[in-house]
Structure 1
Amino acid sequence: MAETSLPHLLVVDSVATGSNELDSLLTELDGQPGIDLYLARQRLIGRGPNLLAEGSQAELAESANILTRRGWRCWVLPNALPRLVPTRLRSLNIEPDMLTFFTAGDEIVLERGMAVVAVLADLSGSIVGKHLKHLMAQKVYNGIDKAQPISDEDLQQAILRAKPVLDLYLLKDGSVSSAVRVLPGRFDPKGLGESMSLSATINLQRILERVQEYASTCTLALDFGLANLPGCRVEKATDGGPWEQQNLASLSRYGWLVTGLAVAGSIRPIPNSMENPTVVPGLGNVAYVGELLDEIREEMPPLAEPAPPAATAAPLPAPPPRPRKGGLSKPQLLSICGTAAGTAIFLALDNNAFAQAVLHYGIRPGLLPAALSAAFLWGGFHFLRLKRRVENTPTSKTRSLAMGLVEIHGQTRRKYALVSPMSQLPCAYYRLRKYRKDRNNRWKLTSCKESDHVPFYLEDDTGRVIIDPQRATVRPRSRQQGFGGQQSLLMDKPSHIDRDEKWIEETIAEGTRLYILGQAKENTQRRPPLRQRVIESLRELKKDPAALKRYDRNGDGQICEQEWSEARRLVEEQLLHQSLQEKGRSLPQQDRVIITRPQQRSLPFIIAETASEAHLVRSYSLYTLPLFGGAVLTVVWTVVMLVEYLRPT
C-alpha cells in the first residue's frame, strides 16, 4: 500500500502562547477536517508532541499550513505500525571508534558520528502521578499563570528512580537501521569496563552517556506517558492484566513515532520568539497536557487558557488566618434551631390534646395554610427581585467600575496560595460540608467550612479587582464527594476509609469564569493596631533563639527583665518606622477597588460560576415559578378552609 494512501497523523509541538493568539488560531482551524476545537485548545498548549487530528494527507495539509504560518512546529506522518521493534540487549563492547551491542542473535554497531534517537521511559507509569503533583504544587504556590513544569533534568532523574527502560534507534541514511532495548539488570555490564557499577540503573545511565558521546546527534525523548500520541497509553499495575507487556508495546509505538518526528524534521523552523530550550527537537518544555490533562479534566471544570508565564514567578502569600468569631456560626445556629423545632413538634404531636388543638385552631381556620402561602409568596418575590436585578444591572469592566452596585464577568485569579482542604487543589474559593450517619442511618451535617475570609481577584481584558466573598451567595459548579480517610490527589497512601462519614466539597478553581453582582467601593488599607503588631512580633521573637541572642547583653544565655524591655522598645521603634514609611505608599492599581456585600440588606451579593448571565436568569425563573404555583395552591387551600370554618353549622 502506498504511504500516501495510509491514514495520517497531524502531530503538533505544543508551546506556550497567549489566549488571544490561540483564539484566533482556533477560529482559523474551525471547520478543518478532523479538528476538534475543544481538544485542539487543550493540546496546542502544553508539553511534548500531541496528536491534533487524523485523516488523509490531503485533508491534513491545509491545517498543517495554518499551523506553520502561525508559528507552530508540526508534522504530518503516516499512521503505520512500527516496522522495527527494539531487541533486548544482552551485552556490549566498547571500542575507540564504535559501540557494539550484542542482542539475541545480531550484533548492532554504533559507529562514531551516527545519529541516534534515545527514548528513556518509565515502564511503571508513576511519572504521570509525580508530574501531576509537581504541577499542582506549582499552581498552589505560584498561581496558574506562573506554574512551571518539571525540568528535563528532574524528569530524567525521576525516570531513573522509577522503573526505567532505554530504547536506542540508530539512524542511517535518514531511516532507522536498527534498534536496541536496554533493561536494567538484564544485560552483562562487564563491557562498561571501569565505569561498571553495582547498581543496574547506573549501568543503564552509563550506556546512555556512552551513546551520547559517540553519536553525532542524540535526540533524547523523555515524555513517554506524558505526550498524547495514538497507541502510546501507559497502563499501571493497579489496572490489572499484563500491564508490563502492554507498556513495552506502547513504548515501541512511541519510539517509532518520535523517531519519525526526528527524521522528518519540522515543516517549518520554529520562530525565535517561540523557541523553547529542550533536549529533544520537537518536544516542548512549557507545560504538559497529554493523558495527565485528560485525568485532570475528569476531576475539574475546564479552565481558562493560561497567560504566558512571567520571567520571575513570585510565590503567592499564605492565606490570612480565619478571624475569630464569638458565639455560634450560622450553620450551627440553624442546625440547633432545626433540631429543637423538630424535637418539639415530635413531642407535641405525640400529645393527642395538643395535636387536636393544632388541627382545630391552625388548619381548620386556615392559619397554617395562610402562613405557608405567605412563605411561598415571599420566596417567589425574592427570586423575582433577584432575576430583575440581574437583568437590569449593566455589565461593567474592571477598569471603569463606578462605586456602588456593579455587575462584572471575568476569570478568577488567586490572591493567596489557597488550596481546597480535601482534594488539595488550588482554588479561589471552597466550601466543605462533612456529614455523618446517625442512628437511623441518615446523613446528618456535622460541620461546614468555607474560605469566605480569603479574597481573590476577578480578571477581565481591562484589569483586575479584588472580590471579598464574605456573606456572599456563592454558587460553585465543581463538586466532589468522598469518604473519611479517602486518598487525595497529593497524598501517596490512603488511610482507612470511614463509610459512616462523607464530605462534599465545592470549589471555584483558578481560571474559572464567574458572574459577580455586588457593591464596589474603595479598598481602604486596614492594618492591625500598633499594640497588636508589637505583641505578635514579640511572640515570634520568643520562638527564635537566634534572634533573642542579640538582646542578651551580658551573655549569660538568658533574657532578664531589663533586656526584654530593651527588646520591646526596639521592636516598637522598628514597627513605628515601618508604619510611617508605608503611610504615604499607595496601593497597586488592582488592589484599589474591592467588591463586597452591599450595606443595604435588600441588595444582593452573588458570586456564581455560570456560562452566561442568561443561565443565571433562567435558574432564578425556575425557582420563581414553582414558588408562585405553591402560593396559589395554598391560597386556594386557605380560602376553602376558611369558608368551611365560617359556614354555620
Structure 2
Amino acid sequence: MAKTTNQTPATNQDQSRGFLLYNRRPALSEHVLESLKEAEAITGINQSELRMRLMGLGIGALNINRCLNELEDCAADLRFIGLNTTAVTKEYVKNGKLPPAARHINLTDSTIKFLDANENTLFKITKESELLIIITDLSGKTVKHLMTAMAYTGNAINKTFDEILKKFSIAKPAAIFYSLNGDSENGVYVDSDIFSYMGLNDKLTHSKGSNFRVMVKEAMAMSKSSITDENFGISLLPGANPEWSRGKSPVEKELGRYTRYILTAVEKKLLPFEAESNEASDEETSPSLSGDKPGTYPSNKNLAGMNSSKGLQPPPNINYSKITSFFQTSLPELIVGLIVIVSPFSFFMSGVKSISAHQVFWKMAAGSAIVLAGVLMFCYSLLLLYYRRMVENTPTSKIRSLSMGMVELSGKSRLYYDLRTSATKTQCVYYRCRYYKYQQTNDGSRWALTRSVSSGKIPFYIEDDTGRVLIKPKGAIFNIPMATQSFQGSYIPTLSIQLHDPNTKVVEELIPERARLYVLGSAQVEKHGKKTREIIIDKLRMLKQSPKIMSEYDINSDGQIDVEEWEAARSDVERMVYAESLANGPGDSESVVIEKPRFGLLPFIIADSEKNLIRKLMFRTWIFLFGGLSTMGFSLNFLVNFFR
C-alpha cells in the first residue's frame, strides 16, 4: 500500500504537532462506553465530549495540543484499551494536494487507464491493483441533504456506498483513485465536469452521472481489492472542512487535505473499519457493521434497531417563567439565591456615607443585612456538610432491590421521552443551547447572547444491570459536567440548522443518553390510572345508561328498579371490579419513581459519580463556611464600631 510521509526529522520531531485519528461509530458499544473513563485520563478530554466525538461516520480527529512523541504514546495507550487510533502531523495534512487530474479514460478487458489531455497515462488499474477510492460531490448539495436527513432521523447516515454513489453522481461528482501497491502516493483525480467518458467504449451511456457510476464500479470490479470512502464534508476534520459556497477551487484544496487523513487511516489500519467482536455482538447498541464492500457502512436493515428513541413520546412543553422556575428549584439553590440577592445590597449600603436624613437607619440596615448574609452562608455550609455525610453513609443500591425512602443509585441514563437538542438534534436527557451574535460596539467587539433554549428538567430513566427506574428531576441539584458542542459560521455536523453567517455561533451543553450518572433521592410509589372507587362509579354510570342490562335486575318485572334491586346491581359491579383487579394484578397502576423528598432538608442530587460529588461538596462546604464566618465577623465588627 502507499506509504505516507507522516514522519518528521528527529531534530524537529518533539516540536511537531498533530492530531489523533480514530474511527467514529454509528452507535457506541458497551465496550467503548466502558473505556471512556480511561480514555479521559489518557487524552484529558471529558467523557461526555469523547462520547459525542466518537459518534458518527468516517474518521474523526482529536486536537489535544501535544508534540508528536506524546501523541504517539497517547495513541498506543488508546489502542491498548480497545480504541484504534493513530497520530498524524499537522504539517503533513496541511501540505496535502490532489493528485494529477485526468481528462480521459481507456477501458479494456484487462486494464483501466486514466489519461491527461495529451493522452499520456497518469494512472493504471489492473487485476492486481489494490485501490483506495474517495468520492464526493463538489457542489456540496448531496452532502447537505444526507446530513439533514440524519438530523431529522437522529441516526447516522444509514446508506450503502452504492446508494451514496448514485446520489453523488447526479450532482457534481468527483473521485480520487489511489494505488495501495507501491511505496509512494500514486493516484489520479477525476472531476466529472472536465472529464471525457468516451473511453468507456461499450459501457458508455448518455448520462454523465451514469458514466461516473460505471467508471467507479468498473474500477472496483477490475481491482484485486478496494477501500471506499464517501465522508468528505461529513467527517469535518481540521483543515478539511469545506465551505461549499466558496466555489470549486477552495473545496478541492480542502479535499486534498482530506486525502492525507484517509491515506493515513488506511496505512494505520483504521480503514476499512471493522467492529470489535464484542461491539458487533452488542445487538442493542451496535448492530453488525459489515457493509456491501470493504470500507462501506451499514445498510438500512442493519441499522433498523439503532434508534433507541423508537416508540417514545416527544417531551412535554415546559414554559416556566424565571420567577416560577426559581421557586421550583431545590432549597439549597433558594438559599444560594437569597445570598446572591442580599450580599450585593448589603455591601452597597455599607458604603453609603452621606444620607443625612436616614444615615443611622441605613448603616444599621446594612450591618444587619451583612449579618444575615453571613448567617445564611454559614447555615448553607452546614447543610452541604450534612449532604456530604449522607452521600458517604448511604449505600449504593441495585435498582431491582431498592427500598422506599432515601436511596443512592448508580447507572446509565436512558430516554423516557424522545428528547433532542434544539440545534443538532442529538439525543439526550437534558440540554441547554445558547445562540450568539458577534457584535461591534463602542467598547470593542464581543459575542452577545441572542437566545437561550433549555429542555427543562424532564423525566428520564437510570439503568443498571438489574433494571431501570424513572427519575423525576424537578427540584434536583444537577452536579454533572455536561458535554459541550460549539459551532460557528459553518454547517453543524448533523445539519439541523445552517450557519452561513460567520458572525453566528451556537453552543450546546447536554447530558447525552447512556451517560454515567449518580442519583441520591427519594424512592416513592407513584399510582397511575383511576382508583377502584372511581372505576366502580364509572361502571355504575354506564349501567344506568343501558336499559337492557338494567332490566335484568328488575326481578319483580314492574319496570322500576327499587332499592333492593339497585343494591344487587351495585354488589355485582363491585365484585366484578375487584375480580378484575385480582386477576390482572397491580399491572401498571403503581410504579416506583425517584424524586425530590417531600419532607425536611433531604437532598435530591444528580451527579456524574459519588467520588466527584463528595469532593465538590467538601470544597463548597469550606468555601461557604469560611465566607460565612468572615462575613459575620466583618458585620459584627461594623455594628460594634457603629454603636460605640
TM class by shorter-chain length?
A: 0.5 to 0.7
Please give the root-mean-square deviation of Cα atoms over the aligned residues, in Å.
Answer: 6.5
The one-letter code sitting in structure 1 at the alignment partner of 2:101 is R
- CA distance, structure 2, for counterparts of residue 120 and residue 50 of structure 1: 16
- Bigger drift between 104-113 and 420-429 goes to 104-113
Shift of 1:95: 4.4
> Which of 207, 211, 222 lines up with 2:215 in the alignment?
207
**Is the Cα–Cα contact under 8 Å of residues 319 and 454 in structure 1 kept in the other structure?**
no
Matched, 1:465 2:478: no
The one-letter code sitting in structure 1 at the alignment partner of 2:135 is A
Shift of 1:506: 5.4
Q: How many residues align?
A: 541
Question: Residue 182 of structure 1 corresponds to which residue in structure 2?
Answer: 190
- Bigger drift between 127-136 and 115-124 goes to 127-136
Matched, 1:519 2:531: no
Equivalent residues in 2 for 1:89-488, closer than 5 Å: 89-95=102-108, 98-103=111-116, 104-107=118-121, 113-122=127-136, 137-139=152-154, 151-157=160-166, 159-160=168-169, 164-169=173-178, 179-192=187-200, 200-215=208-223, 217-224=225-232, 233-236=240-243, 243-253=250-260, 256-257=263-264, 276-281=289-294, 283=295, 285=297, 315-322=310-317, 329-331=324-326, 355-356=358-359, 358-359=361-362, 362=365, 367-368=368-369, 370-421=371-422, 424-430=425-431, 451-452=455-456, 454-478=458-482
- CA distance, structure 1, for counterparts of residue 75 and residue 389 of structure 2: 51
What 5-or-longer segments of structure 1 have no aligned partner? 288-307, 534-576, 645-649
Describe the shift of the 1:587–1:185 C-alpha distance in structure 2 as closer, same or farther (beyond 3 A): farther
**Is the Cα–Cα contact under 8 Å of residues 519 and 595 in structure 1 kept in the other structure?**
yes
Describe the shift of the 1:602–1:199 C-alpha distance in structure 2 as closer, same or farther (beyond 3 A): same
- CA distance, structure 2, for counterparts of residue 420 and residue 219 of structure 1: 35
The one-letter code sitting in structure 2 at the alignment partner of 1:520 is A
SS at match of 1:317: coil
Describe the shift of the 1:44–1:493 C-alpha distance in structure 2 as closer, same or farther (beyond 3 A): closer
> Which of 480, 494, 498 lines up with 1:493 in the alignment?
498
**Is the Cα–Cα contact under 8 Å of residues 134 and 149 in structure 1 kept in the other structure?**
no
- Bigger drift between 595-604 and 83-92 goes to 83-92
Shift of 1:597: 0.8
Describe the shift of the 1:115–1:270 C-alpha distance in structure 2 as closer, same or farther (beyond 3 A): farther
Identity of aligned residues (%): 22
Shift of 1:106: 1.8
**Is the Cα–Cα contact under 8 Å of residues 114 and 171 in structure 1 kept in the other structure?**
no
Shift of 1:241: 12
TM-score normalised per structure 1: 0.61
Shift of 1:417: 1.0
Shift of 1:472: 2.2
- CA distance, structure 1, for counterparts of residue 273 and residue 630 of structure 2: 65
**Is the Cα–Cα contact under 8 Å of residues 89 and 101 in structure 1 kept in the other structure?**
yes
- CA distance, structure 1, for counterparts of residue 314 and residue 599 of structure 2: 29
**Is the Cα–Cα contact under 8 Å of residues 387 and 617 in structure 1 kept in the other structure?**
yes
Shift of 1:138: 4.9
Q: Deviations over 1:265-317 (max 9, x none)?
A: 99999899677312453x37379xxxxxxxxxxxxxxxxxxxx9957856152
SS at match of 1:612: helix
SS at match of 1:88: coil
Describe the shift of the 1:318–1:148 C-alpha distance in structure 2 as closer, same or farther (beyond 3 A): farther
Matched, 1:594 2:577: no
Q: Deviations over 1:386-438 (max 9, x none)?
A: 3333333333332332210122233322211112345644321245799999x
Q: Deviations over 1:84-122 (max 9, x none)?
A: 974322123444555443224523686774545251333
SS at match of 1:285: coil
Describe the shift of the 1:37–1:120 C-alpha distance in structure 2 as closer, same or farther (beyond 3 A): same
**Is the Cα–Cα contact under 8 Å of residues 518 and 608 in structure 2 kept in the other structure?**
yes
**Is the Cα–Cα contact under 8 Å of residues 412 and 428 in structure 1 kept in the other structure?**
yes
The one-letter code sitting in structure 1 at the alignment partner of 2:213 is Q
Shift of 1:74: 9.7
Describe the shift of the 1:26–1:234 C-alpha distance in structure 2 as closer, same or farther (beyond 3 A): same
**Is the Cα–Cα contact under 8 Å of residues 224 and 232 in structure 1 kept in the other structure?**
no
Shift of 1:61: 13
Describe the shift of the 1:400–1:413 C-alpha distance in structure 2 as closer, same or farther (beyond 3 A): same
TM-score normalised per structure 2: 0.61
- Bigger drift between 153-162 and 457-466 goes to 153-162
Shift of 1:186: 0.7
Q: Deviations over 1:245-265 (max 9, x none)?
A: 533433553565577579999
- CA distance, structure 2, for counterparts of residue 381 and residue 258 of structure 1: 55
- CA distance, structure 1, for counterparts of residue 84 and residue 368 of structure 2: 75
Describe the shift of the 1:262–1:408 C-alpha distance in structure 2 as closer, same or farther (beyond 3 A): closer
**Is the Cα–Cα contact under 8 Å of residues 476 and 507 in structure 1 kept in the other structure?**
no
Question: Residue 100 of structure 2 corresponds to which residue in structure 1?
Answer: 87
- CA distance, structure 1, for counterparts of residue 450 and residue 233 of structure 2: 42
- CA distance, structure 2, for counterparts of residue 176 and residue 503 of structure 1: 42
The one-letter code sitting in structure 1 at the alignment partner of 2:521 is G
Question: Residue 632 of structure 2 corresponds to which residue in structure 1?
Answer: 631
Question: Residue 603 of structure 1 corresponds to which residue in structure 2?
Answer: 602
Describe the shift of the 1:521–1:112 C-alpha distance in structure 2 as closer, same or farther (beyond 3 A): same
SS at match of 2:358: helix
**Is the Cα–Cα contact under 8 Å of residues 514 and 607 in structure 1 kept in the other structure?**
yes
**Is the Cα–Cα contact under 8 Å of residues 73 and 270 in structure 1 kept in the other structure?**
no
Shift of 1:219: 3.8
Describe the shift of the 1:360–1:454 C-alpha distance in structure 2 as closer, same or farther (beyond 3 A): closer
The one-letter code sitting in structure 2 at the alignment partner of 1:493 is Q
- CA distance, structure 2, for counterparts of residue 615 and residue 60 of structure 1: 28
Shift of 1:595: 0.4
- Bigger drift between 403-412 and 206-215 goes to 206-215
SS at match of 1:315: coil
**Is the Cα–Cα contact under 8 Å of residues 486 and 507 in structure 2 kept in the other structure?**
yes
The one-letter code sitting in structure 2 at the alignment partner of 1:107 is T
- CA distance, structure 2, for counterparts of residue 504 and residue 263 of structure 1: 30
- CA distance, structure 1, for counterparts of residue 270 and residue 506 of structure 2: 52
- CA distance, structure 2, for counterparts of residue 480 and residue 4 of structure 1: 34
- CA distance, structure 2, for counterparts of residue 264 and residue 360 of structure 1: 73
- CA distance, structure 2, for counterparts of residue 519 and residue 617 of structure 1: 19
SS at match of 1:516: strand
**Is the Cα–Cα contact under 8 Å of residues 378 and 625 in structure 2 kept in the other structure?**
no
- CA distance, structure 2, for counterparts of residue 358 and residue 212 of structure 1: 89
